[in-house]
Amino acid sequence: MEVQQITKISLVWDLYEQDIPKARIARQLGIHRETVHLWIKRIEKVGFLPFVEEYQRAKKGERKRRQIDPLLKRKIWAIREREYDCCGQKIQYFLKKEYGIKPAVSKIYEVLGEKYQLRSKWKTNKKRGSTPSATKAREVVQMDTVMFGHIIAFTAIDIFTKEADVMLSLSGTSNDGARFLNTCMPRRFNSFSETIQADGGPEFQGKFASTVRQYTNTFRVSRPYRKNEQSFIESFNRTVRKECLGWTNYNWNELPELNGYVEEFLNRYHYHRPHMSLGMRPPLQK
């Protein structure tokens, strides 16, 4: 392979000395035009034989990988631990915000790979189905519930602004669903959303269904077995588990303590935690 490249370099220079344009040389030899340009430029500077020797030396052996600053590694690992195993993009955000440095995301993942078992990349060609869309705030709010043993978390998210709310309850009746509406809609969503969407669970029927019209023009029940229709709230639910309440089953007497955790989490979620779909900024700014 190296001999073939040396032959190509020789042909490039011979043709160039015959005043043949670089673009035409590239087409004839099947070489990228920029490569032809770089070869000729270097030969004109150092000469043909010195360039060939230089080229051969460069191709011998593997290049040494650039060493990563150990201090940068420690910062990346510390942010990963502090921010609940966050992704490389969020680590890049915090490095720039806290230290004024912005290493490449690929370099961050290289450092993470030295210490952590990272998940495989999502297959971009995997079919995911349709999801609700919004072009402005308060256009679509999705709601759901998450079970934590004897504690049930009612959750909601504005799919455009990513503002969200959580209310913990000891039961999951439609009356509790209505109480969640009366709590989260004034507190978080200015008492109105053009569309409110939830699944067909009993907590979103009865009293909830009769109350929801006070806060929206359209109440939509997502189709069963179509998780992608609730993708935004499902993603938020995973964040609640990962960064707040975990996968633990709690008892009813732990509710006051858990409310404190949720309040702290929501404050961090809205004012500290960057969101990739918002251009790496938190949903709200103080």
* pLDDT per residue as tens digits for the range 247-257: 999 999 999 99
Q: Pick the more confident residue, 30 or 160.
A: 160
The strands making up 151-158's β-sheet, listed across from edge to edge, are: 164-169, 151-158, 140-148, 193-198, 216-221
Is the domain of 39 the same as that of 82? no
Is the domain of 80 the same as that of 55? no
CATH number at residue 206: 3.30.420.10
With respect to residue 122, please indicate whether it lies within any of the assigned structural domains.
Answer: no
Confidence at 225, pLDDT banded by 50, 70, 90: confident
With respect to residue 14, please indicate whether it lies within any of the assigned structural domains.
Answer: yes
CATH number at residue 50: 1.10.10
Confirm if 194 and 172 have CB atoms less than 8 A apart.
Answer: no
With respect to residue 126, please indicate whether it lies within any of the assigned structural domains.
Answer: no
Confirm if 144 and 153 have CB atoms less than 8 A apart.
Answer: no
Distance CA 226, CA 131 (A): 10
Three-point CA angle 228, 231, 236, nearest 5°: 160
Task: Check whether 227 has a pLDDT greater than 80.
Answer: no
Task: Check whether 3 has a pLDDT greater than 80.
Answer: no
Is the domain of 195 the same as that of 236? yes
With respect to residue 272, please indicate whether it lies within any of the assigned structural domains.
Answer: yes
Distance CA 60, CA 80 (A): 38
Confirm if 76 and 95 have CB atoms less than 8 A apart.
Answer: yes
With respect to residue 251, please indicate whether it lies within any of the assigned structural domains.
Answer: yes
Is the domain of 151 the same as that of 270? yes
Is the domain of 107 the same as that of 146? no
With respect to residue 225, please indicate whether it lies within any of the assigned structural domains.
Answer: yes
CA neighbours within 13 Å on the CB side: how many for 39? 26
Q: Which of 59, 82, 102 is the last residue of a domain?
A: 59
Is the domain of 155 the same as that of 267? yes
Is the domain of 40 the same as that of 162? no
Task: Check whether 123 has a pLDDT greater than 60.
Answer: no
Confirm if 33 and 23 have CB atoms less than 8 A apart.
Answer: yes
**pLDDT of amino acid 1:** 45
Is the domain of 31 the same as that of 75? no
Q: Which of 34, 59, 84 is the last residue of a domain?
A: 59
Is the domain of 55 the same as that of 105? no
Is the domain of 246 the same as that of 146? yes
Q: State how many domains the chain has.
A: 3
With respect to residue 257, please indicate whether it lies within any of the assigned structural domains.
Answer: yes
With respect to residue 102, please indicate whether it lies within any of the assigned structural domains.
Answer: yes
Give residue 79's domain range. 70-113
Q: Is the torsion defined by CA of 240, 241, 246, 249 positive or negative?
A: positive
Is the domain of 162 the same as that of 48? no
Confidence at 122, pLDDT banded by 50, 70, 90: very low
Q: In angstroms, what CA-CA distances link 109 with 77, 102, 122?
A: 11, 13, 15
Indicate the pTM of the whole model: 0.73
Distance CA 275, CA 143 (A): 19
Buried b (16+ CB within 10 A) or exposed e, 38-65: ebbebbeeeebeebbeeeeeeeeeeeee
**pLDDT tens string 88-116:** 999 999 999 999 999 999 999 999 999 98
Distance CA 157, CA 221 (A): 15
**pLDDT tens string 22-81:** 888 988 888 888 899 899 999 999 998 899 888 888 776 666 666 888 999 999 999 999
Q: Where are the beta strands (DSSP E) in the chain?
A: 140-148, 151-158, 164-169, 193-198, 216-221
Distance CA 107, CA 88 (A): 9
Is the domain of 154 the same as that of 274? yes
